[in-house]
Amino acid sequence: MHQFVISKFRSYHNAVLEFPQGVVCLVGDNGAGKTNLLEALSLFAPGKGLKGTNASNWHHKGDLEASWTLKLSLQSPTGPLVLETFESKGKRCITMNGVRLKHQLEISQWISIHWITPAIDRMWNQGWWARRKYFDRIVFTLYPAYGKYLQSYQLAVQERNRALKSQASSFIFDALEEIMAHNSVKIYKIRQEALKMLGIFLQLFPSFPLLSLETHGEFESLMACLTFNEKDLPHQESELKKYWKTVRTKEFHKGTTMFGPHQCQWAVTHPNSQEIASCSTGEQKSMLLSLVLAWSKAIKHFHPKEFHFLLLDEVSAHLDKMHRESLWKALSELDMCVWMTGVHQEVFSGVLAKAWVRIKQLEEQSTLFIKRP
Ligand SMILES: Nc1ncnc2c1ncn2[C@@H]1O[C@H](COP(=O)(O)OP(=O)(O)OP(=O)(O)O)[C@@H](O)[C@H]1O
């Protein structure tokens, strides 16, 4: 059994949850604290967690002085792994077996967490940025080095945007575009690799749509024209630098960088040739689940020794019986920690869960009990 201890986080004053590997169903009324529990777990991934909110929202209401703490103790074949995240001097810190990580991204060496929530269901119609953020999260869990390249690239783009607004001197642009070019090539390569891998793993779930995944954009078109092997890297980087240099004058007026992997459009197409944005709500849900299942197989393939969590908030909404039954079967065969929430236990009928947790509105003290199905 693994253990999760939550202290002064959102609706939880103090909660202890012991849970097994496999599928865990969290059942409770509206407002009982199911999503808060998933959000707490999602903070063992770098970033702002499943709701994408600021840390100021995480304090247990009325307890602003005391800081929140989340502790995840996992049993691995080589011994216990204790991960903790908490707030210290306004910053989120993470420790592994008591040793503080220098950077949040480092946590991906031990654990990867992926989630889908009703907000992600709506993402497809919200514009390319929302999809790109989601895609980047998938790619990062599969290829942890990607996070570093993406972060360096994004920082350089922010600096370049500032330089465009202040019409800085050309040597500043040269230096920033050098960093952007180096990281862009890596980002492109890793994204293409991730698409290829997801494409392979999607085929393992015939009950779900076999999606076609592609990236589009001016940057992607240019990269596709440049041949691709390791010895071409200097050539690709210099072509990108040339491109950014030629568009500087045009971009001075806009004050923003218009070309690069940050403008990538991630297209997801149903086998019926409809792009996901024009598919029905239920089709979109089954497409999202195809991706999630492909991710699960890919992550186990690439990182077999690490811990993997899949968090599915209100997952059964919009799914027909056939997809629901196929999903329950696929999840029970995944051999990872899958946490699902639902208001009624009946929605999980047919789930081969390892544990059921009944969550009640919790006030001062809360201990969560595991029930065998
Ligand atoms: N910082 C906080 N401190 C205390 N309570 C909070 C905090 N943030 C949110 N809550 C409360 O936590 C409760 C549980 O929210 P949560 O989203 O986990 O519910 P849920 O079980 O997922 O409900 P639903 O089925 O309606 O989605 C809500 O009543 C919410 O107001």
32 is in an annotated binding site: yes
Name which of 107-121, 298-312, 345-359 the model is least confident about.
Answer: 345-359
Question: Is residue 311 a contact partner of residue 115, using CB atoms and an 8 Å limit?
Answer: yes
| Best probe residue, ligand 1, of 17, 36, 63, 316 (max atoms within 8 Å of C-beta) | 36
Between 74 and 369, the more confident residue is 74
- Beta-carbon contacts of 3 under 8 Å, excluding residues fewer than 6 positions away, are 16, 17, 18, 19, 71, 72, 73
Name which of 18-27, 91-100, 257-266 the model is least confident about.
Answer: 18-27
Which tokens belong to 161? 């945007």
Question: Is residue 348 a contact partner of residue 152, using CB atoms and an 8 Å limit?
Answer: no
- Whether the pLDDT of residue 312 is over 80: the answer is yes
Of 29, 10, 13, residue with least CA distance to 367: 13
Of 103, 69, 61, 65, residue with least CA distance to 86: 69
pLDDT, mean of residues 327-338: 93
Helices 170-202 and 281-302: crossing angle in degrees, nearest 10, is 100
d(CA 119, CA 208): 21
Between 371 and 288, the more confident residue is 288
Of 280, 316, 262, residue with least CA distance to 125: 280
Band (pLDDT 50/70/90 cuts) for residue 63 is low
Atom in ligand 1 nearest the alpha carbon of residue 60:
3
Ligand 1 pocket, 57 CB below 6 A? yes
- Whether the pLDDT of residue 297 is over 70: the answer is yes
| Best probe residue, ligand 1, of 8, 35, 59, 340 (max atoms within 8 Å of C-beta) | 35
Name which of 58-72, 184-198, 248-262 the model is least confident about.
Answer: 58-72
Beta bridge partners of 25: 340, 356
- For the chain, which residues make up each domain, given as ranges? 124-302
- CATH class, range 124-302: mainly alpha
- Whether the pLDDT of residue 363 is over 50: the answer is no
- Whether the pLDDT of residue 373 is over 70: the answer is no
Q: How far is the CA of 139 from the centre of ligand 1 (A)?
A: 30
Ligand 1 pocket, 150 CB below 6 A? no
Question: Is residue 20 a contact partner of residue 355, using CB atoms and an 8 Å limit?
Answer: yes
Q: Taking the CA atoms of 329, 316, 41 and 359 in sequence, report the sign of the dihedral they define.
A: negative
Query: What radius of gyration do the chain's Cα atoms show?
Result: 22
pLDDT, mean of residues 26-38: 91
Q: What is the pLDDT of residue 267?
A: 96
pLDDT, mean of residues 183-206: 97
Q: What is the pTM of this model?
A: 0.92
d(CA 230, CA 228): 7
Q: How far is the CA of 203 from the centre of ligand 1 (A)?
A: 37
| Residue 74 CB neighbours (<10 A) | 20
Q: What is the pLDDT of residues 93-133, one digit of tens each?
A: 999 999 999 999 999 999 999 999 999 988 998 989 999 99
Q: What is the pLDDT of residue 365?
A: 41
Q: How far is the CA of 36 from the centre of ligand 1 (A)?
A: 6
Q: What is the pLDDT of residue 368?
A: 55
Which tokens belong to 50? 């499943």
Question: Is residue 42 a contact partner of residue 115, using CB atoms and an 8 Å limit?
Answer: yes
Atom in ligand 1 nearest the alpha carbon of residue 28:
21
- Whether the pLDDT of residue 295 is over 60: the answer is yes
